[in-house]
Amino acid sequence: MFPIPIQKRPLINQISYRVLIPISLLIWLIPLIGIMLTSIRGLGDIAQGNLWGVPSEFLLFSNLKDVFQNTPMLSYIMNSFKITIPTMIGAVALSCMTGFALASYRFKANLFIFFTFIAGNFVPFQILMIPVRDLTYQMGLYDTVTGLVLFHVAFQTGFCTLFMRNFIKALPNELFEAARIDGTSEFNIFLKIVLPLTRPAIAALSVLIFTFIWNDFFWATVLIQGHHAMPITAGLKSLNGQWISAYHLLSAGSIMAAIPPVIMFFLMQKHFISGLTLGASKG
Amino acid sequence: MPGSTQIPYRKSSWWKLNQQRLTPWIFLFPGLVLFLVYVIWPIFNSLYISLLQWDGLSPAIYVGFSNYIELLDDEYFYISLINNIKWLIFFMLAVPIGLGLAIFLNQTIFGIRLIKSLFFFPFVISQVVIGIIFAWFYNPRGVIGPFLEAIGLGNYAILADEDFATYGIIFAGIYPQIAYCMILYLTGLNNLNTDQIEAGRMDGAKGLSLFKNIILPQLRPATFLAIVVTVIGSLRSFDMVAIMTQGGPWGSTNVLAYYMFETALSEYGYRMGYGSAIAAVLFTIMMFYILFFIYRMYKSEKKGL
Q: What is the pLDDT of residues B96-123, one digit of tens each?
A: 999 999 999 999 888 898 999 999 999 9
Residue B8 lies in a domain: no
| Residue bearing the bigger pLDDT, A280 or A117 | A117
Shortest CB distance from B215 goes to which of A2, A127, A222? A2
Handedness of CA B120, B124, B127, B133 (dihedral sign): negative
Chain A residues whose beta carbon lies within 8 Å of the beta carbon of residue B187: 273, 277, 280-281
Distance CA A68, CA A253 (A): 9
List, in sequence order, every residue forming a beta bridge with B266; answer none if it has no partner: B269
Q: Which CATH class is domain A68-276?
A: mainly alpha
> What b/e readout covers B201-237, taking b as 16+ CB neighbours within 10 angstroms?
eeeebeeeebbeebbeebbebbbbbbbbbbbbbbbbb
Residue B207 lies in a domain: yes
* pLDDT at res. A102: 95
Q: What is the mean pLDDT of chain B?
A: 87
Verify that B255 and B121 share a domain, yes or no. yes
Query: Which range has the top average pLDDT, A191-195, A196-200, A245-249, B34-38?
Result: B34-38
Verify that B84 and B36 share a domain, yes or no. no
**A residues 143-172 closer than 8 Å to B (CB):** 150-151, 153-155, 157-158, 161
Verify that B190 and B117 share a domain, yes or no. yes
List, in sequence order, every residue forming a beta bridge with B53; answer none if it has no partner: B61
Burial grade of B19 (CB within 10 A; 0-12, 13-18, 19 or more):
middle
CB distance B133 to A32 below 8 Å: yes
The amino acid that residue A233 corresponds to is: T
- The string of pLDDT tens digits covering residues A97-108 is 999 999 989 898
CB distance B67 to B210 below 8 Å: no
From A23, A50, A17, A5, select the one nearest A247 (Cα to Cα): A50
Residue B6 lies in a domain: no
CB distance A207 to A272 below 8 Å: yes
Nearest CA in chain A to B126: A215
Chain B residues whose beta carbon lies within 8 Å of the beta carbon of residue A7: 108
In this prediction, residues A54-65 reach a mean pLDDT of 81
CB distance A212 to B239 below 8 Å: no
Verify that B42 and B114 share a domain, yes or no. no
- Residue B75: how many other CB atoms lie within 10 Å: 8
From A249, A2, A223, A138, select the one nearest B212 (Cα to Cα): A2
Give the domain ranges of chain A.
68-276
CB distance A231 to A76 below 8 Å: yes
- The string of pLDDT tens digits covering residues A192-204 is 999 999 999 999 9
Verify that B29 and B158 share a domain, yes or no. no
Angstroms from B303 CA to nearest CA on chain A: 10
Cβ B35–A240 below 8 Å, yes or no? no
* pLDDT at res. B237: 87
Residue range(s) defining the domain that contains residue B23: 14-49
Verify that B191 and B95 share a domain, yes or no. yes
Nearest CA in chain B to A102: B24
Shortest CB distance from B221 goes to which of A117, A118, A281? A281
Q: What does A42-101 look like in DSSP terms, one character per residue?
A: -HHHHHHT-SSS--SS--HHHHHHHHHHHSTHHHHHHHHHHHHHHHHHHHHHHHHHHHHH
- The string of pLDDT tens digits covering residues B142-159 is 677 667 777 777 677 788
Q: What percent of chain A has pLDDT above 90?
A: 53
Verify that B25 and B113 share a domain, yes or no. no
* pLDDT at res. A273: 83
Residue B58 lies in a domain: no
Verify that B35 and B160 share a domain, yes or no. no
**A residues 30-69 closer than 8 Å to B (CB):** 31-32, 34-35, 38, 49, 51
- Give the pLDDT band of residue B304 (cuts 50, 70, 90): low
Residue B55 lies in a domain: no
Angstroms from A165 CA to nearest CA on chain B: 12
Verify that B159 and B27 share a domain, yes or no. no
| SS3 sequence of A89-154 | HHHHHHHHHHHHHHHHCCCCCHHHHHHHHHHHHHCCCHHHHHHHHHHHHHCCCCCCHHHHHHHHHH
Verify that B200 and B294 share a domain, yes or no. yes
Cβ A262–B125 below 8 Å, yes or no? yes
Shortest CB distance from B42 goes to which of A17, A132, A157? A132
Contacts of A78 (CB under 8 A, 6+ apart): none
Nearest CA in chain B to A277: B184
CB distance B173 to B86 below 8 Å: no
Q: What does B129-168 look like in DSSP terms, one character per residue?
A: HHHHHHHHHHSTTSSHHHHHHHTT--S--GGG-TTTHHHH
Residue B275 lies in a domain: yes
Angstroms from A240 CA to nearest CA on chain B: 8
Verify that B167 and B40 share a domain, yes or no. no
Using a cut of 0.80, tell me whether the model's pTM lies above it: yes
- The string of pLDDT tens digits covering residues A75-134 is 999 999 999 999 999 999 999 999 999 998 989 899 999 999 988 988 999 999 999 999
* pLDDT at res. A16: 92
Chain A residues whose beta carbon lies within 8 Å of the beta carbon of residue B81: none
Residue B63 lies in a domain: no
Distance CA A69, CA A225 (A): 21
How many domains does chain B contain in total?
A: 2
> What b/e readout covers A91-118, taking b as 16+ CB neighbours within 10 angstroms?
bbebbbbbbbbbbbbeeeebbebbbbbb
CA triple B77-B82-B84, angle to 5 deg: 95
Burial grade of B97 (CB within 10 A; 0-12, 13-18, 19 or more):
middle
| Residue bearing the bigger pLDDT, A35 or B153 | A35
Cβ A196–B104 below 8 Å, yes or no? no
Verify that B21 and B170 share a domain, yes or no. no
Shortest CB distance from B137 goes to which of A31, A178, A179? A31
Nearest CA in chain B to A8: B107
Q: What is the CATH number of the domain that holds B244?
A: 1.10.3720.10
Angstroms from B163 CA to nearest CA on chain A: 23
Question: Which of the residues B54, B116, B125 would you substitute to probe the A interface, choosing the one with the greatest number of A C-beta atoms within 10 Å?
Answer: B125
Residue B64 lies in a domain: no
Distance CA A172, CA A169 (A): 8
